[in-house]
Chain A
Amino acid sequence: MSVVVFVEEGDELSLQALAFARTLGETRAVSLDGPYAPAAWAAAISAAAEGADSIVAAGSDRGNELLAHVAARLDQPFAANVTRIEGDVVTRIRWGGSLLEEARLHGSPRILTVAPHVHEAEAPGAPVDLLPVDVADTPRVLDHVAPAGGGVSLRDAKVVVSGGRGVGSTEGFAIIEELAGLLGGAVGCSRVVTSAGWRPHTDQVGQTGTKISPDLYIACGISGATQHIAGCKGAKKILAINDDPEAPIMASADYAVIGDLHEIVPAISAELRKARG
């Protein structure tokens, strides 16, 4: 069996995909450089994969986009975010990981991306082939805009303090910001909060927001819809502060405090200040 794997330089998820691909057969790792141009890059990958049994990439934004282009070009099915494969039966992620699907992939070659953080990364081992590409007359990256900056980024924060519907208002987030500040962390929120306009979408943790993996996630007044859990389940520990001891978030939390977040959160901040003298 021969497998072509698309690998992005310096990308951990690509090396996880490579490890997965090696379980499928003899692998050839390929890469591209220059301005990112999805359709053109996919054409190059398709050409390089002629005769291969499988085409694999990471289940990242680029991996999923490129292999969707490859599959469209070749008119073959494409399974995104696969966690395992046996013969032509794949297990793949649905609902941001809240559900799995077993499906038969009737494709030749088999085209699939590998769900993030399911397999350990492996070093490339053999050299990665740099493919030639022609990006003329195709959509490509023309420019990069720097991030707005300021504050601790949600994605990289060690601690994230998040508020949900229970916070009640834009102003209600002052106590969330205070606790996050004391812990050197970032402020997050649930989808209800961004839909209500209390916080910007950049603060949203969830399936359609940012997926985070901090050491500690503090969820204040968040019920724990699957949409939200899909974004925070990568946290090492979760502390839920909620007035409902039966809220779904409790099934994902390691610790819980039951009661009104408007009393509990300031009390924790005060206690932290006291502990620090």
Chain B
Amino acid sequence: MRLLVCVKRVPLTGGRMVLTADEQAIDTKHLGFTISPHEECAVEEAVRLVEANGGESVVLTLGPAEAEEQLRDCMAIGADRAILLKTDGGEWDAQATARALVEAVRGEEPFDLILFGNESADSGNYQVGIRVACALGVPVVTGLKAIAVEGARVRCEREAGDGREVYEVALPTVLTVLEGLNLPRYPSVPGRLRAKSKPLAVIEPVRAEPRLEKLRLVVPEGQGKQAEVLGEGAAAAPRVVEVLQSLGVA
């Protein structure tokens, strides 16, 4: 099987969002980076599928030169090689991103399966995977919590209200997944060492004009409540129960 996983470098935000002075981004001076949680599961799934069926898993991102760190992380857990669509660090909208991804995919041997996270942790546009599938003329199923490849078809499950919906599609296809699909492994030390020498191709795509054009970011109001301290340690228990009773839940 030939698999492609598309990921995005995002900051590890911790407890509080602080913006840069120009309000164009989160201030990441003191932050580390990762990929979106849904995508961690996509990478893990691709690695497992290659372990079970043979083939190759390729991880791709569109981002700044520093996104090599995330690609190496993905290769440390088992992806075979990587493609970096290198930008100058500015944000690309979903349409421009999808266009660049499609061009990169067309430059490769055809993939059987292209995996995305259902939505990115940061911009949450819910559309890049669908746009790529549409442009490539292949089917797409989104929001998946289970994937089973059976020959040339894939059985997919997604949560819907009460229970799960079942879909079945033929390969090649695009699938977008959710965290909970699997429990991603931690990279091992030998895995990290191997990842350093795995192939990483760099392409510099041309950015299309944004059509969902970010003007500025805003921290929503209403953050920063002052919690009423009910007490310290076990001695607070009677007061807690009073509060539970007053809320009508005890």
Contact = CB atoms under 8 A, between A and B. Distances in A.
Interface of A: 36, 38-39, 61, 64-65, 68-69, 71-73, 75-81, 89, 91, 93-107, 138-147, 158-159, 183, 185, 191, 194-195, 197, 201-202, 204, 207-209, 215-216, 223-227, 237, 239-240, 245, 247-260, 263-264, 266-268, 270-272, 275
Given A226-B17, A248-B15, A80 B249 contact: no
B167 A72 contact: no
Contacts of A245: 229
Interface of B: 13-17, 26, 36-38, 93-95, 98, 119, 121-127, 130-131, 133-135, 139-143, 157, 160, 162-169, 178-180, 183-184, 210-220, 223-225, 227-238, 240-241, 243-245, 247-250
Contact of B126 (A65, A77, A146, A191): A65
Given A69-B130, A94-B122, A61 B160 contact: yes
20 contacts: A65-B142, A71-B127, A78-B125, A81-B124, A95-B13, A99-B220, A100-B217, A104-B212, A104-B213, A145-B165, A191-B37, A194-B183, A208-B121, A215-B248, A224-B15, A226-B17, A248-B16, A251-B225, A257-B229, A259-B232
Contact of B215 (A95, A102, A145, A248): A102
- Specify which of A75, A106, A208, A267 lies most central, judged by the most chain B CB atoms within 10 Å of its CB: A208
Chain A contact residues: helix, strand, loop or mixed? mixed
Nearest to B123: A94
A260 B233 CA distance: 6
Contacts of A98: 13, 17, 220
A235 B217 CA distance: 25
B180 A201 contact: yes
A220 B221 CA distance: 25
Contact of A101 (B210, B218, B248): B218
B178 A272 contact: no
A201 B160 CA distance: 16
B135 A252 contact: no
